[in-house]
Amino acid sequence: MINKLRQKLKGFTLVETLIAVLLLATAIAGPLTIASKSLIVALVAKDQVTAFFLAQDGVEYIRFIRDTNKLQNADWIDGTGGDYTGVDMSPCLNSNGCYTDSTGQQINSGGNNILACGSLCPFMRYGSLNDSNPANDRFRYWPTNSTNEPTTIFRRTIKLTPGTNPEEATVEVTVSWSDTGGVTGAGCPTGTRCVIVRENIFDWQ
């Protein structure tokens, strides 16, 4: 009778407790790991979508400049010789590429809207034409010395490569950004992920 009572009052041994804790920790760790990886993937996907739109925006702006230069009878690349002072895209022929503000703002004191990059193009900013109206917030390069517009994680590099046909050129826009853990994407600058958009443009009239 006493032995039966002792068996009923008997608790877990230390080994049994440790095994139970181990099983519980394993059961919790699995879903937490999956949730953590899902969050990282979602953040990377968000950056990829943003980078793609910034790259496509760069291509469209180069096409706009080409069209404007040609409609004004100017040279389609350097904007000279037309009915007005065209936009000079020749800095984009630089081996390191160029950068431009697709909002149409002049990004240096000389009134130029397209500048050659140094070893790297600068990071884009995220700001507003009118600081009192946040609805105008956008990615941009102007003004370059603003303290009110935070620097983003994105660099946009635009390159123009002349083709064998003098009336054709390839536009390549690369938007790169630093990734969690410093992962390098295929064909991207070291330690970054990137989106690359290419398109051929022509000297048309």
pLDDT at 24: 75
Which phi-psi region, left, alpha or beta, contains residue 154 (left: φ > 0; alpha: ψ -120 to 50)? Answer: beta
Percent of the chain's residues with pLDDT above 90:
32
39-57: per-residue pLDDT in tens? 666 667 888 899 999 999 9
pLDDT at 125: 86
Task: Report how far residue 202's alpha carbon sits from residue 170's, in angstroms, rounded to the nearest whole number.
Answer: 9
* Among 6-20, 88-102, 171-185, the least confident range: 6-20
pLDDT at 117: 93
Tell me if 103 sits within 8 A of 129, measured CB to CB.
yes
pTM as predicted? 0.76
pLDDT at 156: 95
Report the helix count and the strand count for the chain, using DSSP H and E: 2, 7
Instruction: Please tell me whether residue 154 adopts helix, strand or coil conformation.
Output: strand
Nearest Cα residue to 183 out of 194, 174, 192:
192
Interior CA angle at 56 toward 151 and 69, to 5°? 100
Q: What are phi and psi of 37, to 5 degrees?
A: -65, -40
